[in-house]
Structure 1
Amino acid sequence: MSDVTASLPLMLKHLRLGSIKDHWQPLAAKAVTEHWRPEQYLSELCALELASREDKRLQRYLKDATLPPGKQLGSFNFDAVTGVTKPHISQLINQPDWVKRGDNLLLFGASGIGKTHLASSIGYGLIEAGIRVKFVAATALVQSLQRAKEALRLSDALARLDKYAVLIIDDLGYVRKTEQESTVLFELIAHRYERHSLIITSNQDFEHWDKLFEDTIMTVAAIDRLVHHATILQCTGESYRRKASLKKQTT
């Protein structure tokens, strides 16, 4: 290494250009061999750095999203469920304008038919498109928000969730009907209304949501905000858990 380039690795390290630091020497040798112009060499280095940063960002998003492992679109059996199709789900992933508008996606159906898998599949796809997603069980989310409210920090807790363009709330039907939980759930829905998207899975149709909220007026107001800009998918089919259990009993 010449005196001119001796300090280059240190400078690249301080500039946090890790990929360029790792590749500038072998790429320089290739540039000399293939008679690249200086701008081509610089362009190749920049492309490597950008690709590395994008990959690291994707890994950060995936880790932060806490999506259930293995529940990608390719492993979902659409033949076992009616009311939803692979082209429709793919469209929601590949054309995410609905996320930019803060629209919602609501998945209804009995337990065990794959609603969580579908929601997770969309989450994985959106992350690949550079969209921040967070997956959380409804009961855990509501309990966390309730603790924040008791500590007079609910506004802060809701604001922290704003960094996620899409919040996936799984199994909303299992939230207990108490005044405290109803209130924080409504405040979350109202806070994200027309700003950030919600994907909600529930085994309870709207007509049964009076079991989730203490107040009928609050129930109507929550539903009104959710469906105002929403895609609603009603999934039907036989529980895969039940089918797996029956198959196990017969073997």
Structure 2
Amino acid sequence: MSARSDEAAQASIGAAARELRLPTIRTEASRLAEIAARERQSYLVFLAEVLAAEVDDRGERRRTRRINDARFPRLKRLSEFNLDAAPSIQPAQLATLASGAYLDAGEPIVLLGDSGTGKSHLLIGLGLAACEQGRRVRYISTAQLVNELVEAADERILSRVVARYGRLDLLCLDELGYVQIDPRGAELLFQIITEREERASIALASNLPFSEWGTVFPDPRLVAAIVDRITFNAHIIETGTDSYRLRTSKAGNRRKRAS
């Protein structure tokens, strides 16, 4: 094949790939063609390689988009969690949750423990694992979600916002217990929880035991209803009271003094 016909073919591939929205084929076809010629691949093998490159790249783009849409404050993987620092957590339970079976069943996860014990790390790690399995995930603090719902109610778009949160495969709700929630905000949050009940999973992290959730929500009956829904068929993980961050800081200071 002449250089001129190669150039024409490349231009034709580029135009067709743009029309069909196949950006990887547009950019990789020439390189893969050179490899195919060098390795004397058949036409079918070359076509398979080109299509596989497009599929792989498209999957990676979807994965990146899902992670960006989840709005994690930072990326923390379950594999990076120091289980030695949290002896109360069973590795088998964490491995089971990482597989994502709880998502198919719409089961909740509740992470309870003091500040610095790894709740947010686990919450983000579970959310990231779900993203990589093709799930729709959103991470948000409890206070942020309540504020968003109040604004939506004021703007008369609450049903739209509740429906949007209802479509998620996993809602990661962090920092329940750090900020008191007024009656209106508590009722709006309850709508989100009810929307997802036994249908789509919530993973929730709190620094308070269930017995102290009454300090966050003003209505005892609403507290009971929220706890009832969030714990039904739930996977409950207690991260303990010993702050991993504090111990790490102290160990670092001791090493500095010793050096």
User: Normalised by the size of structure 2, how large is the TM-score?
Assistant: 0.88
What is the alpha-carbon root mean square deviation over aligned residues? 2.0
Q: Which of 3-12 and 44-53 deviates more? A: 3-12
CA distance in 2, matches of 1:16, 1:4: 18
Identify the residue that residue 198 of structure 1 maps to in structure 2.
202
- Is 1:35 matched with 2:20? no
- How far the C-alpha of 1:248 sits from its partner, in A, is 6.3
Distance 1:4 1:108, change over 3 A: closer
* Aligned AA (1:180): R
- How far the C-alpha of 1:62 sits from its partner, in A, is 1.6
- Is 1:235 matched with 2:239? yes
- How far the C-alpha of 1:127 sits from its partner, in A, is 1.6
Distance 1:78 1:4, change over 3 A: closer
Distance 1:243 1:32, change over 3 A: closer
Identify the residue that residue 53 of structure 2 maps to in structure 1.
48
CA distance in 2, matches of 1:43, 1:70: 34
Identify the residue that residue 210 of structure 1 maps to in structure 2.
214
Identify the residue that residue 102 of structure 1 maps to in structure 2.
106
Identify the residue that residue 17 of structure 2 maps to in structure 1.
12
1:144 partner SS: helix
* Aligned AA (1:168): C
- How far the C-alpha of 1:134 sits from its partner, in A, is 1.4
Identify the residue that residue 165 of structure 2 maps to in structure 1.
161
Maintained 8 Å contact 2:137/2:171: yes
* Aligned AA (2:201): S
Corresponding pairs, count: 250
CA distance in 2, matches of 1:177, 1:130: 33
Maintained 8 Å contact 2:75/2:124: no
- How far the C-alpha of 1:80 sits from its partner, in A, is 1.6
* Aligned AA (1:79): D
Q: Which of 209-218 and 133-142 deviates more? A: 209-218
Q: Which of 175-184 and 210-219 deviates more? A: 210-219
2:155 counterpart (137, 151, 154):
151
Paired-residue identity, %: 31
1:177 partner SS: coil
Q: Which of 84-93 and 165-174 deviates more? A: 84-93
* Aligned AA (1:19): T
Q: Which of 187-196 and 125-134 deviates more? A: 125-134
Maintained 8 Å contact 2:10/2:30: no
User: Normalised by the size of structure 1, how large is the TM-score?
Assistant: 0.91
